[in-house]
Amino acid sequence: MKSDSEIAAPIKLILSDVDGVLTNGQIIYDAAGFETKAFHVRDGLGIKLWQRAGFSFGIITARNSEIVTRRAEELGITFLRQGCQQKWDAAVELMQEAGCGPEQTAYIGDDLPDLAVMTRVALPVCVSDAASDVRKAATWITKLPGGTGAVREMIERLLHAKSKWDSLVVQR
């Protein structure tokens, strides 16, 4: 079995699903029909720390949402694909844009549409409340469920394994 350091060493790009990973999976519509989503602030800081360490982060989602566009802009995420029914095709495009291959990519998901990417990248990760088939495909399973800081948990583990965490969080 490989150590975290061996697994993390080649990873330069994290790709993430949205609903059920960056959110708790609930899709809420208000009385006017507007969609709302809740994002965990710790995931946002984790993404920023990952980027500050010199790595790339991207989002792939089957749905289209202005809220996701706004959150991506807030976090400086330029690798974004929405409305993707074929997540692997979107992943290939984003990897090319980021200058990475599957062997340098981690993907975090929670449900069956994520398997197309998870089964082809170096580090498949899922949230603790993922579908059972997704859990079987994952190398790492977070302790936290989607929408509660699971992405941050994965990023912390990667940055610790790369010996980059302390230099990013120590106040100077």
Known binder of ligand: residue 17?
yes
Known binder of ligand: residue 19?
yes
Query: For residue 158, how many C-alpha atoms fall within 13 Å in the half-sphere facing its CB?
Result: 36
The pairing of strands 35-36 and 28-29 is antiparallel
Which tokens hold the place of 137?
């495909």
Residue type, 8: A
Known binder of ligand: residue 43?
no
Buried b (16+ CB within 10 A) or exposed e, 108-144: bbbbebbbbbbeebbbbbbbebbbeebeebbebbbeb
- Residues making up the annotated binding site for Mg(2+) are 17, 110
- Residues making up the annotated binding site for substrate are 19
- Residues making up the annotated binding site are 17, 19, 110
